[in-house]
Amino acid sequence: MSDFVDRDELPFTTEELFHAARLFMPTNAARMLAKHLTECGPGVISARAERRAGWRAAGIPGADTMLLYPWVYPDELLPARASLSADAERRALALMDDHWAGLRMATVEKGQHAAAESAGITEIFRQVRAAAEASADGSPPLPPQTGEMEAAADARVAEERRRWDGEVARFRGRASGD
């Protein structure tokens, strides 16, 4: 479909966004939201292309595939959209899978930072961080991931997925009541 608002990061049509937004806001507001997101699309796409070109020129790995997450919309929008068709659910879940992978990675990293600080190396860690910021890749050395950190990250992602499934089910109930 070529009329998606943003093929990469908001792969829905204006009408699809409108129908989803109608499940949780008044019709006029839903129409305005869908129109606003559609109007923002070309600028977001252009800015992403410029950013990726700069990353490519700088030799940053993954420059052509990294998501920028520029879109700001109500939390209900994607689960509402997913509730309306299997195809839209597939597209919404692709976005959410990227979100959940990032959430998992961030949760593990938070555990690594907590482990470093609880090991009594807070000041050393700050010095290492300052040195890392001056290094080529800018990342401080962290303690290795542990099974406990990974389990905490998996639990957090599983809870987010349960919340997502609940929201989709809630909106399916509303959509069938139209």
Same domain, 102 and 17: no
> What's the structural domain count of the chain?
2
Q: How many CB atoms lie within 10 A of CB 15?
A: 11
List the chain pLDDT tens, one digit each, 178 residues: 469 999 989 999 999 999 999 999 999 999 999 999 999 999 999 999 999 999 999 999 888 888 787 899 999 999 999 999 999 999 999 999 988 998 999 999 898 888 877 766 666 666 666 766 665 655 666 778 899 999 999 999 999 999 999 999 999 988 776 5
Same domain, 32 and 43: yes
Q: What pLDDT score was predicted for residue 1?
A: 45
User: Cα Rg for the chain, rounded, in angstroms?
Assistant: 20
Instruction: For residue 95, give its domain range.
Output: 75-178
Same domain, 171 and 102: yes
Same domain, 50 and 121: no
Spatial contact of 79 and 140, defined as CB atoms under 8 Å apart: no
Of 9, 13, 162, 20, which is closest to residue 78 (Cα–Cα)?
A: 20
Same domain, 83 and 64: no
SS3 2: coil
**Structure confidence by residue, pLDDT tens digits, 70-102:** 899 999 999 999 999 999 999 999 999 988 998
How crowded is the C-beta side of 53, counted as CA atoms within 13 Å?
6
Same domain, 177 and 91: yes
20, amino acid identity: A
SS3 6: strand
Q: How many CB atoms lie within 10 A of CB 171?
A: 22
Same domain, 64 and 79: no
Spatial contact of 164 and 76, defined as CB atoms under 8 Å apart: no
